[in-house]
């Protein structure tokens, strides 16, 4: 067996640096060590190659890598054989430099190189700098890594459950500002010409490739915070220096145009970001759940919160920091105005010439400055499909008038909302007791895949919104076991006046689909129902919400097209947060068919929720649909 000292004795010096005298001899020595230590089957090596066994990842029917890019592998058999890839990697690491150093294996596969160097008796290799990696990683001035949770965006199905980014922080004078820091994103490489149906099908069934990309954080803040009006929550990750470096090394490897197959429900941003963070540990430690059928961003954040460092005391997840959306910043600024100032703001919005009016000029300079500051924010916030020709001219006039007024201290403050990790986790289990006026008592169990309903505690969730998928209810009686509901999806968004400014208003909307009972007096009488509509919502007292909707619905009985009914259903409802832990909801609708078998009926619900802990609540539900049914249920969220 060759020792490290005997290998080093074979090195010769040349003017260009050190080179190995016998590359083959060195390789054989290193390979013998790797084979004896079974490095090719070590958990970290398999992590670096993204190897999974059958059932561990979507589309895996054999032991192979999730990566579909051939350039990621140095061996032709590397995608299916980690041993062959280890051999090829050792050879590439020992190869002499020729051409661009950034393309050498020691720079391109820096995570592999550092791990192998720590596990094998490498000789002293010729010095090699990696300019691109060194400039990108800036390890000497690095201050840590943060995970950024981007709140849900219901206008885009791919963003319904939020999004995750990884932010690499430093005190470098060029990249030290938060907005300038390198930030990692994972997403599908979609075809912009795909219609919505093709987009959905390809996203669900692996028709797109996914890839890691990086940009400065201000790009993501502009897209999500400014354009889509989504709050961003940044959490520092309490990694050790070694863990931080391992994640950074592999992130660089994945930025070399490495593609995965993208699946909307699992192999998505949540799964791949968690997988990258798993590189912090060289053992079998995982954040993702093997065999899972879905992955969502907020679930990853909860897992990180519950993940304890080996000391057993400190959570891996740091304290949350809110990066507010433009809408929230405007809302906070508007809240600082007095009632009279808000009226002046409304006048400025509604009248083009009001800026020069005597009434506005009679206001104190400090007030006028606050009003114009808010108006400038409002003009930036409002989105127009066809901007007016004089929009830029109007902004220039406002800026000129504002320049003549005093500078104000930036004392805009408002109550910071609850962070995502302060709310309920996304999965839910339900156990309840049922009383039905026709069918008698029963026990009920149920579960949903995710995420949050209107009656739930809104801490950390979108306000006045509901996103629920795969909601299953089963009732057990003495002689029966029946599925009473299987809701595929239920999405609702109740829009209010978020800024308090007159004219700032949106339509409320909702959509749902799934199997449910035709009426509550018959267990086996089920139908497939799909419905959706638009409406208006108002809030009278601040902790309440009243709404009026017009839904269109379709019902298919016995899976027979001739039994399909189409119709409309006006709805009236109310939400009221009596206390932070107590919420009430009423919803009533009149269903009237206009095509197919004639139907006309009322469906009324009255529900209450009482929160007993972050992960627990109690629900009392009363429903009238053909007969009266009441349920007392205990919910556990995880």
The verdict on residue 276 lying in a domain is yes
The verdict on residue 416 lying in a domain is no
- Rounded to the nearest integer, the mean pLDDT of the chain is 88
**Domain shared by 142 and 267, yes or no:** yes
Nearest CA to 463 out of 428, 426, 423 is that of 423
Nearest CA to 307 out of 270, 277, 282, 283 is that of 277
Q: Which one is predicted more confidently, 253 or 597? A: 253
CATH code where residue 568 lies: 2.40.160.40
The pLDDT assigned to 53 comes to 74
Q: How confident is the model at residue 293 (pLDDT cuts 50, 70, 90)?
A: confident
Question: 547-586: per-residue pLDDT in tens?
Answer: 999 999 999 987 677 789 999 999 999 999 999 899 999 9
Boundary-marking domain end, from 111, 129, 147: 129
Q: What is the DSSP string of 344-364?
A: HHHHHHH-TTGGG-HHHHTS-
- Name the 3-class secondary structure at 579: strand
**Domain shared by 576 and 457, yes or no:** yes
The pLDDT assigned to 247 comes to 97
Nearest CA to 7 out of 32, 27, 26, 35 is that of 26
Query: Does residue 11 have a pLDDT over 80?
Result: no
**Domain shared by 599 and 462, yes or no:** yes
Nearest CA to 529 out of 555, 551, 547, 511 is that of 555
Boundary-marking domain end, from 74, 108, 129: 129
The verdict on residue 214 lying in a domain is yes
**Domain shared by 576 and 442, yes or no:** yes
**Domain shared by 455 and 573, yes or no:** yes
- Rounded to an integer, the average pLDDT of 41-45 is 95
The pLDDT assigned to 63 comes to 84
The pLDDT assigned to 333 comes to 86
Question: 104-113: per-residue pLDDT in tens?
Answer: 999 999 999 9
Q: Which one is predicted more confidently, 525 or 11? A: 525
The pLDDT assigned to 406 comes to 87
Question: 371-394: per-residue pLDDT in tens?
Answer: 998 888 888 887 654 555 567 777
- Rounded to an integer, the average pLDDT of 489-503 is 82
d(CA 239, CA 461): 27
Query: Does residue 241 have a pLDDT over 70?
Result: yes
- Name the 3-class secondary structure at 117: helix
The pLDDT assigned to 55 comes to 60
Class of residue 530 by CB neighbours under 10 A (exposed 0-12, middle 13-18, buried 19+): middle
Q: How confident is the model at residue 10 (pLDDT cuts 50, 70, 90)?
A: very low
The pLDDT assigned to 460 comes to 83
What pTM does this model have?
A: 0.88
d(CA 604, CA 590): 9
The pLDDT assigned to 157 comes to 76
**Domain shared by 296 and 356, yes or no:** no
Q: How confident is the model at residue 35 (pLDDT cuts 50, 70, 90)?
A: very high
d(CA 56, CA 465): 33
Query: Does residue 504 have a pLDDT over 60?
Result: yes
The verdict on residue 418 lying in a domain is no
Query: Does residue 7 have a pLDDT over 60?
Result: no
Q: Is residue 464 a contact partner of residue 507, using CB atoms and an 8 Å limit?
A: no
The verdict on residue 120 lying in a domain is yes
Q: Which one is predicted more confidently, 9 or 253? A: 253
d(CA 585, CA 619): 11
**Domain shared by 118 and 141, yes or no:** no
The verdict on residue 330 lying in a domain is no
The pLDDT assigned to 390 comes to 65
The pLDDT assigned to 271 comes to 92
Q: What are phi and psi of 185, to 5 degrees?
A: -130, 145
Least reliable range by pLDDT among 149-158, 523-532, 609-618? 149-158
| Residue-range definition of the domain harbouring residue 62 | 4-129
Boundary-marking domain end, from 291, 323, 355: 323
Q: What are phi and psi of 118, to 5 degrees?
A: -80, -15
**Domain shared by 316 and 344, yes or no:** no
Total domains present in the chain: 4
DSSP state of 427: -
Query: Does residue 222 have a pLDDT over 70?
Result: yes
Range of 92-101, 208-217, 415-424 with top mean pLDDT:
208-217
The pLDDT assigned to 416 comes to 81
Class of residue 18 by CB neighbours under 10 A (exposed 0-12, middle 13-18, buried 19+): middle
**Domain shared by 146 and 123, yes or no:** no
Q: Which one is predicted more confidently, 120 or 18? A: 120
**Domain shared by 160 and 125, yes or no:** no
Query: Does residue 411 have a pLDDT over 90?
Result: no
The pLDDT assigned to 1 comes to 36
Q: How confident is the model at residue 12 (pLDDT cuts 50, 70, 90)?
A: very low
**Domain shared by 105 and 155, yes or no:** no
Query: Does residue 114 have a pLDDT over 80?
Result: yes
**Domain shared by 76 and 152, yes or no:** no
Q: Tokens 């007969």 label which residue?
A: 627
Q: How confident is the model at residue 612 (pLDDT cuts 50, 70, 90)?
A: very high
Structure-derived torsion over alpha carbons of residues 172, 173, 176, 179, reported in degrees to the nearest 10: -140
The verdict on residue 408 lying in a domain is no
Q: Which one is predicted more confidently, 195 or 240? A: 240
Question: 54-70: per-residue pLDDT in tens?
Answer: 666 655 566 889 999 99
The verdict on residue 411 lying in a domain is no
The pLDDT assigned to 9 comes to 33
């Amino acid at each position: 067996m060759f020792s490290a000292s005997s290998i080093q004795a074979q090195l010769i010096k040349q003017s260009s640096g050190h080179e190995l005298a016998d590359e083959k001899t060195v390789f054989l020595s290193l390979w013998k060590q790797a084979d004896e230590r079974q490095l090719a089957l070590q958990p970290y090596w398999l992590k670096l190659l993204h190897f999974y066994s059958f059932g561990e990842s979507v589309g895996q029917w054999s032991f192979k890598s999730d990566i579909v890019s051939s350039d990621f592998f140095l061996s032709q058999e590397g995608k299916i054989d980690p041993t062959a890839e280890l051999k090829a990697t050792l050879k590439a690491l020992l190869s002499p430099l020729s051409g661009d150093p950034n393309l050498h294996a020691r720079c391109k596969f820096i995570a592999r190189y550092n791990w192998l160097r720590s596990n094998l008796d490498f000789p002293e290799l010729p010095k090699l700098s990696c300019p691109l990696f060194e400039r990108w990683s800036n390890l000497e001035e690095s201050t840590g890594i943060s995970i950024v949770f981007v709140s849900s965006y219901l206008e885009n199905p791919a963003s319904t459950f939020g999004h995750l980014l990884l932010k690499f922080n430093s005190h470098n004078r060029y990249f030290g500002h938060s907005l300038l820091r390198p930030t990692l994103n994972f997403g599908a490489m979609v075809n912009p010409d795909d219609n919505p149906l093709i987009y959905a099908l390809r996203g669900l069934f692996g028709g797109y490739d996914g890839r890691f990309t990086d940009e400065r954080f201000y790009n993501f803040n502009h897209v999500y915070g400014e354009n889509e009006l989504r709050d961003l929550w940044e959490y520092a990750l309490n990694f050790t220096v070694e863990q931080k470096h391992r994640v950074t090394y592999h992130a660089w490897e994945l930025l070399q145009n490495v593609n995965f197959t993208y699946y909307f429900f699992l192999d998505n941003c949540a799964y791949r970001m968690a997988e990258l963070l798993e590189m912090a540990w060289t053992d079998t430690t995982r954040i993702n759940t093997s065999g899972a059928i879905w992955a969502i961003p907020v679930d990853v954040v909860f897992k990180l919160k519950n993940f304890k460092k080996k000391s057993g005391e400190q959570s891996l997840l740091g304290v949350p920091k809110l990066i507010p959306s433009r809408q929230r910043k405007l809302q906070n600024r508007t809240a600082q105005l007095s009632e009279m100032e808000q009226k002046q703001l409304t006048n400025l919005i509604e009248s083009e010439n009001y800026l020069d009016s005597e009434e506005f000029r009679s206001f104190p300079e400090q007030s006028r400055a606050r009003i114009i500051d808010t108006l400038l924010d409002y003009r930036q916030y409002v989105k127009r499909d066809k901007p007016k020709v004089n929009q830029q001219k109007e902004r220039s006039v406002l800026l000129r008038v504002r320049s003549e007024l005093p500078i104000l201290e930036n004392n805009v403050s408002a109550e910071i909302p609850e962070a995502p990790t302060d709310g309920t986790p996304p999965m839910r289990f339900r156990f309840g007791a049922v009383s039905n006026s026709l069918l008698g008592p029963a026990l009920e169990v149920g579960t949903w895949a995710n995420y949050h309903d209107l009656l739930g505690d809104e801490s950390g969730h979108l306000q006045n919104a509901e996103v629920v998928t795969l909601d299953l209810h089963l009732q057990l009686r003495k002689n029966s076991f029946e599925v009473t509901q299987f809701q595929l999806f239920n999405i609702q968004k109740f829009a209010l006046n978020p800024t308090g400014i007159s004219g700032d208003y949106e339509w409320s909307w909702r959509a749902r689909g799934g199997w449910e009972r035709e009426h509550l007096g018959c267990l086996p009488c089920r139908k497939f129902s799909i419905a959706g509509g638009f409406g208006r919502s108002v809030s009278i007292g601040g902790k309440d919400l009243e709404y009026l909707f017009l839904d269109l619905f379709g019902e298919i009985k016995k899976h027979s097209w001739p039994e399909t009914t189409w119709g409309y259903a006006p709805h009236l409802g109310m939400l009221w947060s009596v206390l932070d832990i107590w919420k009430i909801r009423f919803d009533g609708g009149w269903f009237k068919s206009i095509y197919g078998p004639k139907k006309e009926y009322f469906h009324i619900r009255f529900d209450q929720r009482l929160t007993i802990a972050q992960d627990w609540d109690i629900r009392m539900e009363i429903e009238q649909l053909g007969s009266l049914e009441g349920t007392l249920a205990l919910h556990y969220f995880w």
